[in-house]
């Protein structure tokens, strides 16, 4: 089995390589592809080194599975018509809402992955982190409405945004002026609305992704979903405040029991110590942390539940989910 990682030098691509290395995927079965400016670079892998190759129209010849994390433009150019026999797992937004392309979280809709026609899409990071906590509850008691607010780290905008946050933090602490370049607003010591495009409804693209992608993966367009997505000065791991309305009354204890046994989650919900999910604890971890579970007292029906989640955007929010899709296809 030959595997290629496209965009291997980016933040998510590096994480993909790290996860494949942890899974002991042989260097002989792995190719790393990137732009011409990265070609020839050597990267440590297991007990050897791999050489970054330039992505060309012939690069996927002989490759069984290719995981793309190089942006939508590259995916549209190289993934829409892959080489014969190559299955693409694409981390960009290019094909997520294409009705012919499965959009998959293995813990949510694994069967959809098996319906692919050579291309599978990886969902948006914020959608993955939310859905991992909401879907197991939805299976027990159908969710009718989701209100979510995100607190998104610099890692969601890539390695350059992470470095910009480091640089700006030093500049502010040293009393120097800050000139944003990667993100449109100052990242350090600031919070601002997600920088994706806003349409005539007033919702930005990130918020629309959370709505449409959740509907597609849950196979239910009737769920009411509204999102507010915000950038925060956190290096790595996204956080989300989620308010849910269910079809039937749902107690806190019932919710805890479901989430405690759900795959991909770790319950962090200690009221005595006021200890709940934090991005600093989720960073570098595979599970999404879930806690702050409480009844929504504004809903007298007993159908409302509030909770808080944190998940590493680079791992489960991107690279890990893609590799787990690969696991589904190769089992």
Q: Which of 138, 238, 303, 310 is catalytic?
A: 238
> Is 127-313 a domain of CATH 3.30.360.10?
yes
CATH 3.30.360.10 intervals, the chain: 127-313
Q: Which of 125, 229, 303, 310 is catalytic?
A: 125
Q: Please choose, from the candidates 25, 56, 22, the residue with its C-alpha nearest in 3D space to the C-alpha of residue 39.
A: 56
The confidence score (pLDDT) of residue 309 equals: 98
CATH 3.40.50.720 intervals, the chain: 3-123+318-330
Across the strands, what pairs with 31? 4
Q: Taking 70 as the threshold, does the pLDDT of residue 82 lie above it?
A: no
The confidence score (pLDDT) of residue 292 equals: 98
Token code pair at residue 18: 């790290």
Q: Which fold has domain 3-123+318-330?
A: Rossmann fold (3.40.50)
The confidence score (pLDDT) of residue 306 equals: 98
**pLDDT > 70: what percent of the chain?**
98
Report how far residue 227's alpha carbon sits from residue 310's, in angstroms, rounded to the nearest whole number: 16
Do the beta carbons of residue 214 and residue 105 sit within 8 Å? no
Tens of pLDDT, residue by residue over 165-201, are 999 999 999 999 999 999 999 999 999 999 999 999 9
Report how far residue 259's alpha carbon sits from residue 5's, in angstroms, rounded to the nearest whole number: 33
**Please, what is the end-to-end C-alpha distance for the chain in angstroms?**
12
Find the farthest-apart pair of alpha carbons in the chain and give their distance in angstroms, rounded.
63
The confidence score (pLDDT) of residue 197 equals: 93
Catalytic: 238?
A: yes
DSSP string, 256-307: HHHHHTSTTEEE--BTTTTB---HHHHTT-SSEEEEEEEE-TT-TTS-EEEE
The confidence score (pLDDT) of residue 263 equals: 97
Token code pair at residue 100: 């012919």
The confidence score (pLDDT) of residue 83 equals: 63
Token code pair at residue 48: 């050897």
The confidence score (pLDDT) of residue 79 equals: 81
Tens of pLDDT, residue by residue over 8-56, are 999 899 999 999 999 999 999 999 999 999 999 999 999 999 999 999 9
The confidence score (pLDDT) of residue 1 equals: 87
- The sign of the torsion formed by the CA atoms of 21, 25, 27, 30 equals negative
Catalytic: 310?
A: no
Mean pLDDT, residues 228-255: 97
Mean pLDDT, residues 47-67: 92
Token code pair at residue 108: 């949510």
Tens of pLDDT, residue by residue over 250-289, are 999 999 999 999 999 999 999 999 999 999 999 999 999 9
Mean pLDDT, residues 191-217: 96
81 pLDDT band, cuts 50/70/90, is: low
Q: How far is CA 314 from CA 13, 144, 215, 260, 291, in A?
A: 9, 29, 23, 23, 21
């Amino acid at each position: 089995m030959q595997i290629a990682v496209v965009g291997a030098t980016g933040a998510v691509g590096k994480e993909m390589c790290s996860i494949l290395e942890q899974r002991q995927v042989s260097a002989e079965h792995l190719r790393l592809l990137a732009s011409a400016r990265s070609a020839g670079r050597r990267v440590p892998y297991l007990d050897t080194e791999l050489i970054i190759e330039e992505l060309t129209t012939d690069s996927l010849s002989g490759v069984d599975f290719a995981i793309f994390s190089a942006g939508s433009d590259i995916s549209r150019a190289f993934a829409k018509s892959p080489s014969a026999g190559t299955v693409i797992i694409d981390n960009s937004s290019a094909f997520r809402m294409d009705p012919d392309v499965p959009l998959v979280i293995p813990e949510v809709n694994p069967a959809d992955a098996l319906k692919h026609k050579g291309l599978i899409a990886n969902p948006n990071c914020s959608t993955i982190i939310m859905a991992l906590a909401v879907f197991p509850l939805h299976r027990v008691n159908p969710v009718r409405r989701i209100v979510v607010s995100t607190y998104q780290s610099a890692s969601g905008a890539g390695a350059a945004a992470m470095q910009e946050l480091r640089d700006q933090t030093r500049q502010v602490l040293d009393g120097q002026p800050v000139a944003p370049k990667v993100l449109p607003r100052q990242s350090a010591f600031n919070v601002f609305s997600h920088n994706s495009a806003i349409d005539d409804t007033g919702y930005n693209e990130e918020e629309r992704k959370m709505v449409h992608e959740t509907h597609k993966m849950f196979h239910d367009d009737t769920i009411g979903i509204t999102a507010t997505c915000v950038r925060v000065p956190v290096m790595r791991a996204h956080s989300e405040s989620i308010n849910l309305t269910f079809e039937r009354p749902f107690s806190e204890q019932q919710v805890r029991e479901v989430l405690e046994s759900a795959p991909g989650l770790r319950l962090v919900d200690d009221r005595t110590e006021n200890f709940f999910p934090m991005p600093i604890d989720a960073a570098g971890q595979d599970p999404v942390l879930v806690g702050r579970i409480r009844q929504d007292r504004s809903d007298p029906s007993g159908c409302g539940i509030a909770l808080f989640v944190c998940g590493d955007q680079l791992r489960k929010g991107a690279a890990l989910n893609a590799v787990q899709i690969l696991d589904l296809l190769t089992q």
